Amino acid sequence: MGETVTFRVHRYKQGDAAPHQDTFQVETEPRTTVLDALTAIRRTQDPSLTLRHSCFHASCGTCAMKVNGREVLACVTNVRELGTAEVVVEPLENAPLVSDLVVEMAPFFARYNAIDRPLVRESELVPGAQRAPGVERALRYEDCIECGICVSVCPIAGTDPDYLGPAALAAADRVREEPRGRDLPFVLSLADDPHGVWRCHAAFECTEACPSNVDPAGHIMQLRRALIGGRLRRLFAPRAEVGR
Amino acid sequence: MSERAVTPARQAPPRGRRRGVLGWLDVRGRRLGGWAFILNRVTGLGVLFYLYLHLIVLSQLAAGPSSWNALLNWFLNPIFLVLDVVLLAGLLIHGLNGIRLTLVEFGLVVSRQKALLLAFGTVGVIVLLIGALRFLSDVGAK
Amino acid sequence: MAGRADESGALSAPGERPVRWAPEERDTLPGVGWGWQAVTGALVLVLVTLHMIANHFVVKGGLRDYQEVIAYITNPVILPLETLFLVVVSWHGLLGLRAVIFDFGLSVRAERIVTRVLLGVWVVTVLYGLTLLAILVTHP
């Protein structure tokens, strides 16, 4: 069942004049993922290939990268299903490059953590879902796995280094929906900025690319509507509470 | 540290890792909304360029009937009528996408934004075809 | 994953400078911003449709000759509409151009210069248009 697939992998080490691509031949099985192939390259061909990964099942959000020009989680991207004789692997865009396929996530988390949205939702996964005997309540985590794909595909993040970005803005809207004790006026003040929610141009690339159904663009538009509504209410009732 | 301090968060990443304006030309992996974004910018610039051309041409009106009417004959040349169709296409793309953006960005039509894009695309193509027939039937008129 | 935020929203990992989201304040003017682009866009949409239909669709041959232009522009309903069109479409267009220029990643200082220059271009455009309209309206 083995089938050899050519991988063209983006390479860059600190101090290199420019990035280049290395080519590797990898034996693949029908269920081989891009992450499997990259770890196989590390194991048998080039241990210096740097990549970031952890869980192998789309929960940790660390193996986001560009495969054949599209941002995906490498761990759940099947090589054969790509249907190309050659697979091009590149790091995410719109983030500082650290090494090979690894980008600096600090700017992402500086924005995301500024919003500081709680991790556990108030709402459950499916309100009427069946639970195991003895389980009274199911908790649901927020959908966002903090992978950075939304920022990589965003045309605004591509030109505005100050843009708050889809993930952080979606998180802000989740705080608006379920404040869970957070300082909502403060969160809204971060989002209500020329580099915040108003900077989005509604390309919806983030929503299309998100591997975890966060729908950042939809949240950004809901947040805009809420902020516009708040402004209109303040216009007609100046003492109305901020953002409510 | 002041609220608005400049910090490493706004440092530009190393070369090639921020798409930048030239990244607009990289269409790999771009989806429908991304195409709408880039087309909106390109048509906007194009229509603005036309606006100034148009304003400059209109100065010939101040020169009186003979120079204006001479110019008109020139503009009935098929090449200009084809360019008129291009202009109409630009106006339709920018205008219809503008309506879509306004509806979506005020948070009015968010969940159905893709359907809206396809609907406006269809309307645009139909109006463009009608306009093209209208313009090109003017070849040789007057 | 990664570090947690402290109260101020800064990300602190050991031995690392804190990174926080702190955009630079932009130079703004009244009438400059996304909401205005939508409002002027809506106006332009109505006015450009009228302009296109009146000038290029209902007219035989798709273009007005000199006499037809004079008759059109001296119409008491058309004149204020076309004047408004000039003012609004140039504002909308230059505001859009400004947004595209800003996407090249200028410094705040450069952005301020661009804003002032484009404001000047807009004033000149409107004055030019008004002059042209005045010439045509007062034409014998």
CB atoms within 10 A of CB B114: 14
pLDDT digits (tens, 9 = 90+) for C101-139: 988 878 888 888 999 999 999 999 999 999 999 998 887
Whether the per-residue pLDDT at C18 is higher than 60: the answer is no
Q: Does B4 touch chain A (CB under 8 A)?
A: no
Q: Which of A104-118, C36-50, C57-71 has the lowest mean pLDDT?
A: C57-71
Residue B11: what pLDDT? 44
CB atoms within 10 A of CB A29: 11
**Residue showing tokens 């070849």:** B139
- What number is the ipTM of this complex? 0.79
Spell out the domains of chain B, with CATH numbers in brackets: 33-136 (1.20.1300.10)
Residue C13: what pLDDT? 42
- Mean pLDDT for A5-33 is 94
Q: Nearest chain C residue to A109 by CA: give it.
A: C11
How does strand A20-28 pair with strand A70-73?
unpaired
Residue A15: what pLDDT? 85
Residue B138: what pLDDT? 66
Indicate the pLDDT class of residue B74, thresholds 50, 70 and 90. Answer: confident
In what helix (H) or strand (E) does residue C48 lie, and over which residues does it extend?
A: helix C34-52
How does strand A86-90 pair with strand A3-11?
parallel
The answer to whether the CB atoms of B15 and A201 lie below 8 A apart is no
CA distance A111 to A90: 24
Comparing CA positions, the residue from A18, A106, A113, A99 lying closest to residue A52 is A99
Neighbours of chain B (3+ CB pairs under 8 A): A, C
Q: Do B121 and B64 meet the contact criterion of CB atoms below 8 Å apart?
A: no
How many Cβ pairs closer than 8 A exist between chain B and C? 109
Residue B17: what pLDDT? 66
Q: Where are chain A's structural domains?
A: 3-103, 106-236
* Residue of A89, A99, A103, A159 to mutate, testing the B interface (most B Cβ within 10 Å of its Cβ): A159
Comparing CA positions, the residue from B12, B134, B33 lying closest to residue B81 is B134
Residue B127: what pLDDT? 92
More confident residue, B9 or A61: A61
| A3-103 placed in CATH 1.10.10.10 | no
> Strand, coil or helix: what is B111?
coil
Whether the per-residue pLDDT at C22 is higher than 90: the answer is no
Residue of B41, B98, B141 with shortest CB distance to C60: B141
More confident residue, C7 or A204: A204
DSSP label at residue C58? S
Q: Does B134 touch chain C (CB under 8 A)?
A: yes
Indicate the pLDDT class of residue C1, thresholds 50, 70 and 90. Answer: very low
Residue C14: what pLDDT? 40
The answer to whether the CB atoms of A194 and C21 lie below 8 A apart is no
Indicate the pLDDT class of residue C7, thresholds 50, 70 and 90. Answer: very low
Q: Nearest chain B residue to C94 by CA: give it.
A: B48
User: By a Cβ cutoff of 8 Å, what residues of chain C touch chain B?
Assistant: 17-25, 34, 38, 41-42, 45, 48, 52, 56-57, 60-63, 65-67, 69, 89-90, 93-94, 96-97, 100, 103-105, 125, 128-129, 132, 135-136
CA distance A20 to A22: 7
pLDDT digits (tens, 9 = 90+) for A64-78: 999 999 999 999 999
Contacts of residue C28 in chain A, CB cutoff 8 Å? 194
The domain C34-137: what is its CATH number? 1.20.1300.10
The answer to whether the CB atoms of B7 and C20 lie below 8 A apart is yes
50-89 in chain B: CB under 8 A from chain A: none
CA distance A75 to A73: 5
Indicate the pLDDT class of residue A138, thresholds 50, 70 and 90. Answer: confident
Helix axis angle for B113-136 and B32-58, nearest 10°, is: 40
Residue A1: what pLDDT? 64
DSSP collapsed to 3 states, chain A: CCEEEEEEEEECCCCCCCCEEEEEEEEECCCCEHHHHHHHHHHHCCCCCCCCCCCCCCCCCCCEEEECCEEEEHHHCEHHHHCCCEEEEECCCCCCEEECCEECCHHHHHHHHHHCCCCECCCCCCCCCCCCCCCCCCCCECCCCCCCHHHHHCCCCCCCCCCCCHHHHHHHHHHHHCCCCCCHHHHHHHHCCCCCHHHCCCCCHHHHHCCCCCCHHHHHHHHHHHHHHHHHHHHHCCCCCCCC
CA distance C74 to B98: 31
Comparing CA positions, the residue from B82, B91, B90, B73 lying closest to residue C61 is B73
Q: Do B100 and B120 meet the contact criterion of CB atoms below 8 Å apart?
A: yes
How far does Cα C17 stand from its chain's mean position? Answer: 41
pLDDT digits (tens, 9 = 90+) for B95-122: 999 999 888 888 888 888 888 889 999 9
Class of A106-236 in CATH: mainly alpha
Three-point CA angle B4, B9, B13, nearest 5°: 140
Characterise A181 by phi-psi region: left (phi > 0), alpha (psi -120 to 50), beta (else): left
Neighbours of chain A (3+ CB pairs under 8 A): B, C
The answer to whether the CB atoms of C65 and B68 lie below 8 A apart is yes
Residue C57: what pLDDT? 75
39-98 in chain B: CB under 8 A from chain C: 41, 44-45, 47-48, 51-52, 55, 58-59, 61-62, 64-65, 68-69, 72, 75-76, 81, 84, 88, 91, 95, 98
Q: Do A55 and A73 meet the contact criterion of CB atoms below 8 Å apart?
A: no
Residue of C23, C56, C93 with shortest CB distance to B10: C23
